[in-house]
């Protein structure tokens, strides 16, 4: 029952989160081991049942609080705030915005939830100033450039030398990797690229 949010209604504590397998989806959790809740059930406390009704009414609010609470883990996945506008459709962004607005109006939202919700609104409104990206190292720049043209280099290498492992000359594996012959330099040009099969790559790693 990880990644849940806590909510208090009429003095009773509830949790809301992922129901997990096999039920799935989001829902409310009631701890019948909680002495206060056990006593309320035994005495037929009307305030407890009013709290349950209120809990059911707040489904949209609880869903928004849950999404915002777990936004970094589930939606940004550690990629930073730039991932918000880079990875989602307009419909998804509109849904996030609506949930953020609900959280900002909720009397159950904590400071962290409010901060996340406000950041979403600021980004989607063009009012958020992103921190500068860290400077890439020469190795990172060279690799990024290589990744952009990997497909063309792979095709060119195949035309020039055939689709086979440069070391064992096998070509039937179907998992040949294009790598640098000399990985001590930042040379990703065709003259320093070869095909290697997985078996030969594993032998090379063991030697290192």
Question: Residue 71 pLDDT more than 70?
Answer: yes
Lowest mean pLDDT among 121-135, 151-165, 167-181, 188-202: 167-181
Question: Residue 201 pLDDT more than 70?
Answer: yes
Q: Angle at CA 87, nearest 5°, toward 81 and 88?
A: 105
Lowest mean pLDDT among 16-20, 57-61, 115-119: 16-20
Q: Which residues pair with 15 in a beta bridge?
A: 6, 29
Is residue 161 within 8 Å of residue 134, measured between CB atoms? no
Cβ partners under 8 Å of residue 200, min gap 6: 165, 167, 168
Calculate the average pLDDT of the chain.
88
Q: How many CB atoms lie within 10 A of CB 110?
A: 13
Encoded tokens for 10:
């009429």
Asked whether the whole model's pTM tops 0.85, one would answer: no
Which residue, chain included where needed, has tokens 């790559």?
A: 201
Q: Is the dihedral of CA 107, 111, 116, 121 positive or negative?
A: positive
SS3 176: coil
Residues 87-127 have pLDDT tens digits of 899 999 999 999 999 999 998 899 999 999 999 999 999 99
Residue 105 has what pLDDT?
96
Residue 183 has what pLDDT?
83
Lowest mean pLDDT among 31-35, 44-48, 156-160: 31-35
CA atoms within 13 A on the CB side of 3: 16
Cβ partners under 8 Å of residue 106, min gap 6: 61, 64, 65, 113
Encoded tokens for 166:
């440069």
d(CA 54, CA 48): 10
Q: What is the mean pLDDT of residues 132-150?
A: 90
Tell me which H or E stretch contains 112. Answer: helix 111-124
């Amino acid at each position: 029952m990880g990644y849940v949010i806590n909510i208090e209604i009429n003095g009773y504590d509830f949790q809301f989160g992922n129901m997990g397998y096999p039920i799935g989806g989001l829902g409310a959790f009631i701890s019948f081991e909680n002495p206060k809740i056990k006593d309320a059930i035994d005495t037929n406390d009307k305030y407890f049942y009013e709290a349950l009704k209120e809990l059911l009414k707040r489904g949209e609010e609880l869903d928004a609080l849950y999404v915002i609470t777990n936004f970094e883990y589930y939606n940004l996945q550690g990629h930073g705030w730039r991932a918000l506008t880079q990875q989602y459709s307009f419909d998804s962004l509109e849904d996030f915005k609506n949930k953020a607005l609900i959280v900002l109006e909720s009397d159950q939202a904590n400071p962290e939830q409010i901060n996340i919700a406000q950041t979403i609104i600021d980004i989607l409104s063009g009012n958020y100033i992103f921190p500068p990206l860290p400077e890439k190292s020469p190795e990172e720049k060279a690799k990024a450039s290589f990744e952009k043209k990997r497909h063309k280099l792979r095709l060119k290498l195949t035309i020039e030398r055939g689709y086979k492992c440069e070391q064992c000359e096998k070509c039937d594996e179907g998992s040949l990797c294009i790598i640098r012959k000399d990985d001590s330099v930042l040379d990703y040009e065709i003259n320093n690229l070869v095909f290697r099969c997985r078996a030969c790559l594993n032998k090379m790693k063991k030697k290192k």
